[in-house]
Amino acid sequence: MTNQFIRFKLDLSYDQYLAVYQGVAKTVVTIADDGRRIVFPAGNIQRYLTKSGIQGHFEMELGAGNKFVGIKKLA
């Protein structure tokens, strides 16, 4: 089976992401470009957090059995 790639946009404010550190939120829920609802651990995008939050277009890679491989920010 080949890996699956899911593209999506995020526009989270710093305060919205701060809820993760406070233990209020543990997951990110968004709609992929193809219309699928995706849910993943918020820690998977932590490295993209800036003072303004997390914004941009991202691509998530899933391997066999829909196992998380990684997320990268697209240009």
What pLDDT, on the 0 to 100 scale, is given for residue 46? Answer: 87
Distance CA 69, CA 55 (A): 21
What pLDDT, on the 0 to 100 scale, is given for residue 73? Answer: 97
What pLDDT, on the 0 to 100 scale, is given for residue 49? Answer: 87
Q: Which residues of the chain have pLDDT under 70?
A: none
Give the domains, in start order, of the chain with CATH numbers: 4-73 (2.40.50)
Gap between the terminal Cα atoms of the chain: 27
What pLDDT, on the 0 to 100 scale, is given for residue 25? Answer: 77
What pLDDT, on the 0 to 100 scale, is given for residue 48? Answer: 92
Distance CA 9, CA 11 (A): 7
